[in-house]
Structure 1
């Protein structure tokens, strides 16, 4: 349909970025380090690769890289794009990535499965505004789906299965008096969701910005805010690493965590910079950038929120039991 042309173009561009990964925004057009990146050449920086997702959630780490925060803490940072936290987890565990970004549910599922991972720095937190959060469950305007309880018996796209969307949507359906077991979650990458919804391959999509803003512009309806409507001050994601790295190089973990905290603070204080840096790892137009909802970027992991997410994850069978916070959150981040 004609109204999808602009959004589809932008999504295709993001998908291409997802396939090839991302280098430093401070580098030149050929991916080579900028002229002032002399520390790496002198061997003073530790090379660190972090797996991230092409969504607004990770804007703070891109800003930290762009503003030289990681260099100040001795880190030569490479950011590599992936489909979702559930895909990043095994890459961190295997050592392909030193650190990664993931939604907290995927990390709880990984911990419950016996993977020794540690959350080491905060990520985004919901705005708490149901009408203008950076995530939404979205449907066609003529779908007949008007609220979260209408998702029973429907196919709902999530970027990866057993993640924060599964759990928050399931809890929303339960709170509305429905049976979340009757929701059919389908794994679809963020860049592909709008096309799948338009083709009626799914009935609803779990969108985050910039994709939610693109869907808004193309006339789709928001029927539920999974991050804002379920857990107060929901901490959506965190940066994490393997227990092995924590034990083998605690100084690097400390440096990364501190740099992330400073990057979070910078993002919180500079929302316009958040919008601008999105152009480094997505391809969206200026009009859409202006409509994006900016997350809150706290400097600490929200432990109360994490506990609530763990309880919800247990209730819906994503994990066997609620873990001790000390088992999943690095001591320096508690």
Structure 2
């Protein structure tokens, strides 16, 4: 076999391999990253020459660090996590939209309260231990905003981090008095008889802010302009 043919074959193999460099997308266990999940399952990314894999991230506020460490190339941080990360000096950029608040998504957001705890109005959260899927993440910041609007000092509530997948177990064990969550976790915990909805604070706020968008490091985005275009 001639050297020219070998080089030709190598070039032919290298180009697709480079085009198929794997992209890890990190998201928490919510439906906000459904667009990427569907694109992976239905082969939409593959059709555009991208080799993409979803990577579960337990707490949303860990996503910026995962991006900068290159554990993932693209992440789905909530808008609050993204803005705080950038304000703190992390060089991240948003590359595509994912989800925004609307009447349907707002109704899906709730403070779910375990059995034995009675919540009739916002002040009943004072002194309670409330699990949030990431301190300063979207659901936590929204709840703090709701408390402030209702005249309750957020510092009077004891917030702890609880991942979405473990919420049912920690509610059942009594580890927290309530969790800040959304569908389908609200329905699952209700059907399991673990408690009830204490507040539909998302619906009460009625906002239209971005919830999650896809972000990357500025360095990666600038070096992979064509990939970002295909991702979109």
Match of 2:217 in 1: 242
In 1, Cα distance between the equivalents of 2:60 and 2:182? 14
Tell me if 1:101 matches 2:81.
Answer: no
- Sort the Cα spacing of 1:87 and 1:123 in 2 relative to 1 into closer, same or farther, 3 A: same
In 2, Cα distance between the equivalents of 1:156 and 1:162? 13
- Sort the Cα spacing of 1:60 and 1:129 in 2 relative to 1 into closer, same or farther, 3 A: closer
TM-score where L is the length of structure 2:
0.85
The 8 Å contact of residues 102 and 206 in structure 2, kept in 1 or not, is answered as no
The 8 Å contact of residues 102 and 207 in structure 2, kept in 1 or not, is answered as no
Map 1:132-211 → 2, pairs under 5 A: 133-211=107-185
Say which of 80, 84, 95 aligns to 2:59.
Answer: 84
In 2, Cα distance between the equivalents of 1:232 and 1:162? 17
4+ residue runs of structure 1 moved beyond 3 angstroms?
Answer: 39-42
Larger Rg computed on CA atoms:
2
CA deviation vs aligned residue, 1:228-273 (integer Å, no higher than 9, x gap) = 33252232111100011122222222221x2xxxxxxxxxxxxxxx
- Sort the Cα spacing of 1:197 and 1:252 in 2 relative to 1 into closer, same or farther, 3 A: same
Match of 2:6 in 1: none
The 8 Å contact of residues 110 and 186 in structure 2, kept in 1 or not, is answered as yes
Tell me if 1:126 matches 2:98.
Answer: no
Say which of 71, 76, 81 aligns to 2:46.
Answer: 71
- Shift in Å at residue 59 of structure 1? 1.8
In 2, Cα distance between the equivalents of 1:99 and 1:226? 30
Partner-residue secondary structure (3-state), 1:168: helix
In 1, Cα distance between the equivalents of 2:230 and 2:48? 6
Match of 2:9 in 1: none
Gaps of 5+ in 2: 1-12
Partner-residue secondary structure (3-state), 1:124: strand
- Sort the Cα spacing of 1:169 and 1:99 in 2 relative to 1 into closer, same or farther, 3 A: same
C-alpha RMSD of the superposition? 2.3
- Shift in Å at residue 165 of structure 1? 1.9
Write 1 or 2 for the structure with the bigger share of strand.
2
The 8 Å contact of residues 45 and 75 in structure 1, kept in 2 or not, is answered as yes
In 1, Cα distance between the equivalents of 2:115 and 2:14? 52
- Sort the Cα spacing of 1:149 and 1:73 in 2 relative to 1 into closer, same or farther, 3 A: farther
The 8 Å contact of residues 47 and 76 in structure 1, kept in 2 or not, is answered as yes
In 2, Cα distance between the equivalents of 1:210 and 1:167? 20
> How many residue pairs align between the two structures?
218
In 2, Cα distance between the equivalents of 1:129 and 1:150? 26
Partner-residue secondary structure (3-state), 1:194: helix
- Shift in Å at residue 204 of structure 1? 0.6
- Sort the Cα spacing of 1:119 and 1:147 in 2 relative to 1 into closer, same or farther, 3 A: farther
